[in-house]
Amino acid sequence: MPIYEYECLKCGHQFEYLVLPASPEPTCPECRRQDLKRLVSLCAVSSEATRQAHLDRARKQYGKVNREKQYEEHKQAHHHDD
């Protein structure tokens, strides 16, 4: 199902609209007008390489957060109020 981007010619609001087989004509969510201009959208491209790059980035970020969490837990476990 395509998602189109629109701009309302009345109020200038930009929004996305998911087009389903039984979808009514799009209407501006701000002013409820149907005087719209469909915008040119960038498409999302996914490949095995991009999925792997995103997975690698997420693992790296998780590792950093996990190390910081372990450090804080270690510090709390060994912290004594004397």
Tell me the domain boundaries of the chain. 3-38, 55-82
Predicted TM-score (pTM) of the model is 0.49
Please name every residue paired with 8 in a beta bridge, in sequence order, or none if there are none.
36
Q: Tokens 């002013």 belong to which residue?
A: 31
Structural tokens at position 41: 């959208």
pLDDT digits (tens, 9 = 90+) for 26-80: 999 999 999 999 998 776 677 888 888 888 999 998 888 888 899 899 988 887 6
Structural tokens at position 6: 């629109």
Structural tokens at position 34: 């149907």
